[in-house]
Amino acid sequence: MTLVQITHNDLDGYGASTVAACLAPVERVVHVARYSDVGPVVEDELKRLRKAQEPETLLMTDLGLEEPAIAFFRRFAAMNRNRAEGSRHRLVVLDHHASSLDQLRRQGLEPAPDPERPGLTRTDLGDADIFVLIDEAHCATRMAFDQRALYAPQEAEGPAELPTLIEAVEALDLWRKGDPAFTGGLALDEIFWDSVSPLVPVGHPRHDRFLSDLLLAAARCLAEGATAAELERRAGSLRAGIVDALLADEPADDPTLTTRMRLARMLARSESLFHPLSDGTLLSFGLDSGTFQRVSDLVMEGGRATRVVNVQRAGTLSFRSINGTALDGARAFRGGGHRDAAGGKLPQGSAHSLADAVAQVEPVLNPPSPDPSASPFAALKNWKG
C-alpha cells in the first residue's frame, strides 16, 4: 500500500519521517512549517485520494491538531464510506500536543484512554481505518516507532542507531533537561537547523533522504559515545560524506568545491524545484536565500531561463534575471530593487506550497487576455440598426 506522510518542519517532525522511512517505503513526505498550513495541505491530499483507485495510507505526525485538521478527519471518513470494501484508505494520526485534545473535544469528539498504554488516547471517528492517537508523554518520533504496526510491516525494526535518535529527539522535544540524552538532542537540533534549508531544499526528491541519513549518522556518533562538542566538530565531515554519496553519479560534480557549491549544480538541473510560468520565468518555492542566489545564477547560465523567481512561505518574492526584467517582475508585486535583482510581496501575504505560489504569481505576471464577450458592448458588435 502506498504510504504518504505529512509531518511538521522541526526536529521531531523530521525524526518521525526518518523513523517511518527506516521502517516502510514512504512514497512522499510533505513538510508543514506552520500549523495554519495544515488545512490547505490536507485538502490537497483529500482531493488526490478521492481520485486514487488503489488504497493508500496517509500518516500525519506532530501537526498539532486544529479545527481544519479535525474537519479533514470527518471528510476522510465520509470519503471512505463511499469506497468499496478493500479500496478504503487508511489514516494514521500520531500527535502529542495537549491542545490537540482540547480541539478534539471542542469539535464534539472524546479521546478515550488506551487500556494498554497509560497516557495514550484514541479518538473514534466511526471508521476502522482511521487511527487518531495522542500521547502527551512521548514525542512524535517515538510514536512513529511505537505505533509502526499501523503503517509498516510487522517485522520492521530499523537500523541499530534508531533508538539513540529517538531518545535524543524525545529528550529535546519534551525539554527533559535532566535526561542524559538531552545534550545530544540539542546537538542534533543544531545540526538539523544548520542543514534543513541551505543544502538540499524541501521539494527536491533527495531532500528527505539527505536529512534522514544525516540524523542517523549523527545518532550513530552519539551511540558510540561522542559528546555534543565532538558531534559538532564531526558535523561537517558527516555532511560531506553524505554529499559524496549523493553526488557519486553526478557527471558535473567537482569535489574541489564547497558542499553548497557542489549541491547547487545538482539543484540547478532539477525539474522538481522549478515550475515554468507561461512567459518562461522559472518559479521556485521556499529556497534558502543563499541557495537561490547560487542556483538561479547556474540556471540562467545554463540557458534554462532568463528570469527566475523564488517565493517564500511568508510571501516575499526574489527575482533574478540576465536581461533586466527582474525589476519589472518585482514592480508587479509592489516591490523594487535592481534591474537584475529585485523583490516584492505576494498579494495574499503568504503561500503554503509550490502550487499555491504558482497560482498567485502566474496571473499577476501574465494576466489573461480580456474576454471580448464580457464587454458590455459585445452585443452591439454585429448590430446593424
The 10s digit of each residue's pLDDT in 334-381 is 999 999 999 999 988 888 889 899 999 999 999 987 766 666 655 556
Fold of 1-158: Rossmann fold (3.40.50)
DSSP for residue 257: S
- Please give the grid coordinates belonging to residue 305: 531561463
CATH fold match for the domains 1-158 and 268-365: no
Across the strands, what pairs with 310? 284, 318
pLDDT at 381: 60
pLDDT at 385: 53
What is the residue type of 229?
A
What would the pLDDT profile of 236-266 be if each residue is shown by its tens digit? 999 999 999 999 988 889 999 998 899 999 9
Q: State the Cα–Cα distance between residues 99 and 103, nearest whole angstrom.
A: 6
- Please give the grid coordinates belonging to residue 339: 534591474
For 385, the 3-state DSSP assignment is coil
Mean pLDDT by 10 residues, the chain (385 residues): 95 97 95 88 94 96 94 96 94 96 95 92 96 96 96 85 98 97 97 92 90 97 97 95 92 89 90 94 92 94 96 94 96 96 92 91 90 61 58
DSSP for residue 370: P
CB neighbour class for 184 (10 Å; exposed up to 12, middle 13-18, buried from 19): buried
The pairing of strands 316-321 and 307-311 is antiparallel
pLDDT at 377: 59
The pairing of strands 112-113 and 282-285 is unpaired
- Phi-psi category of 24—alpha, beta or left, where left has phi over 0 and alpha has psi -120 to 50? beta
Q: Strand ranges (DSSP E) for the chain?
A: 2-8, 26-32, 56-61, 90-95, 112-113, 120-123, 130-135, 275-276, 282-285, 307-311, 316-321, 336-337, 341-345
What is the residue type of 268?
A
> 168 and 219 in contact (C-beta within 8 Å)?
yes
- For 326-365, the DSSP string reads HHHHHHTTT-EE-SSEEEEE-TTS--SSHHHHHHHHHHHH
Q: State the Cα–Cα distance between residues 355 and 254, nearest whole angstrom.
A: 33
Helix, strand, coil percentages for the chain (3-state, nearest 5): 45, 15, 40
Q: Which residue matches cell numbers 483507485?
A: 53
Domain boundaries, the chain: 1-158, 159-246, 268-365
Across the strands, what pairs with 172? none
Three-state SS annotation for 178-237: CCCCHHHHHHHHHHHHHHCCCCCCCCCCCHHHHHHHHHHHHHHHHHCCCCHHHHHHHHHH
pLDDT at 250: 86
pLDDT at 374: 62
pLDDT at 378: 59
pLDDT at 190: 97
pTM: 0.89
What is the residue type of 140?
A
Give the CA radius of gyration of the chain.
24
Candidates 3.20.20.70, 3.40.50.300, 3.40.50.2000, 3.10.310.30; correct CATH number of 268-365?
A: 3.10.310.30
